[in-house]
Structure 1
Amino acid sequence: MVRIKYNTFIFDFDYTLADSTVGIAKSINYALEKLGLAPKNTDEIRKTIGMTLKETFRILTGIESDSVSSDFIHYFMEKADEVMVDNTDLFSDTVLILEQLKNEGFKTAIVTTKVSYRIVEVLEKNRSRHLIDYIVGFEDVREAKPAAEGLLKAVKALNSEKEKVLYIGDSLIDAKTAQNAGIDFAAVTTGTTAAQDFKQFPHILIADSLTNLFAGLRAR
């Protein structure tokens, strides 16, 4: 990989590095069933992936109650501990890209609304934990994305400078997070957000895969 202006690459997880739709759908519908609520179809669920569980519950059900939301989160996590890792697949080019970055000496991190131990479990399953230097999960911040806290925490932990960091994500939440942190952003359209939708936010590049994103960065 040729030299580019960044020395640090920070990634979102769901739909940026991996697809955990099946595990998330199973966990959401288990939680809804436990609450006596109707299940949701996969298309409805996919549109909420990347949000916090509290926001996911509100969007899917219209229920604002904090206590019911807390119960939903409890049941979701109960099922997720059982099914999420086995139902999460890294994208076909994820490990190759991360290996290239590691071999070239770049710093890497993940900032996600998932709990950090889940990311560790998925990476360990794929024998790729060593390719990520730092992970910020939902439990590691007071304010979840699109607040800048998690992204800035990763930058500090990696001893990086903001102008040398690129944040890569698949959603408008990710674009807003980068904007709030004052960090460059690049988008992949491997989630549910179309390329056109990213154009309202500052961005370095929009690509249809990690492979093509890094090819584009090398060509700049």
Structure 2
Amino acid sequence: MSYSLVVFDWDGTLMDSTHSIVAAIQGACRDLELPVPSASQASWVIGLSLESALRHAVPELTKAMMPRFLERYRVNYLLRDPELKLFDGIRELLAELAQRNVQLAVATGKSRVGLNRALAASGLVDAFQATRTADETFSKPNPAMLHEIMTELDVAADRVVMIGDTSHDLQMAANAGVHSVGVTYGAHTRKELESCTPQVIVESVPELTAWLAAREV
């Protein structure tokens, strides 16, 4: 199978931010004196829209408390901004795919403001032909993000592969009728990724690069 469009998740797939998201959720819980979820509980929700994620990770959080919690989450997350970086090899992978005329896109649980900040900070503003965020359409695993990207770029489903580190990413791909690749260096375990039967599961960016290189446009 060859692909003309590669869609990436952001957090835990392109950017090494899983630990910062977990710490921000836990920090906001402490600030509001709510039960603090474990790292595994907090990391499981990564990839969902923030409000959907918080309903799962912090079930004690009421609707009335949500604005204050979101404020504390963002403060805790922004405090870790200097720690955030792309995974080693990602910049080179994106450049290699672009040289092969593969179209690139992002489908993320981040907000539009959050993704724009991340794109600017990483110098990747012009790297992607299309992007979708959770506050612009339905959250994963609903296939809307992928359907909208495919429509915008006029690419058929059988020419698309979704790369992600969570079962939410891979289930979205299955729901959209496209292929998927799971990466184990992000938020979810291999077992969780295997439950969605992706085309392959890789353990590193070099392994991902090699797998994609073998699929000519």
TM-score normalized by structure 1?
0.85
* Contact 1:32 1:39 (8 Å CA) reproduced: yes
1:111-150 maps to which residues of 2 (within 5 A)? 111-141=107-137, 143-150=138-145
Judged with a 3 Å threshold, the aligned counterparts in structure 2 of structure 1 residues 203 and 33 are, in CA distance, closer, same or farther, namely closer
Judged with a 3 Å threshold, the aligned counterparts in structure 2 of structure 1 residues 218 and 192 are, in CA distance, closer, same or farther, namely same
Where structure 1 has 5 or more consecutive residues not aligned to the other structure, the ranges are none
1:87-126 maps to which residues of 2 (within 5 A)? 87-126=83-122
Judged with a 3 Å threshold, the aligned counterparts in structure 2 of structure 1 residues 199 and 79 are, in CA distance, closer, same or farther, namely closer
- Partner residue in 2 for 1:32: 29
Amino acid at match of 1:155: M
Judged with a 3 Å threshold, the aligned counterparts in structure 2 of structure 1 residues 66 and 201 are, in CA distance, closer, same or farther, namely same
1:78-93 maps to which residues of 2 (within 5 A)? 78-80=75-77, 82-83=78-79, 85-93=81-89
Deviation at 1:26, TM superposition (A): 4.3
* Contact 1:114 1:138 (8 Å CA) reproduced: yes
1:23 matches 2:20: yes
- Partner SS, residue 7 of structure 2: strand
- 2:47 counterpart (29, 38, 50): 50
- Partner SS, residue 161 of structure 2: strand
* Contact 1:23 1:83 (8 Å CA) reproduced: no
1-side partners of 2:191 and 2:23: how far apart? 30
1:67-82 maps to which residues of 2 (within 5 A)? 67-80=64-77, 82=78
- Partner residue in 2 for 1:9: 6
- Provide the alpha-carbon RMSD of the alignment: 2.4
Q: Percent of counterpart pairs with the same letter?
A: 23
- Partner residue in 1 for 2:150: 155
Amino acid at match of 1:115: S
Report the count of equivalent residues. 215
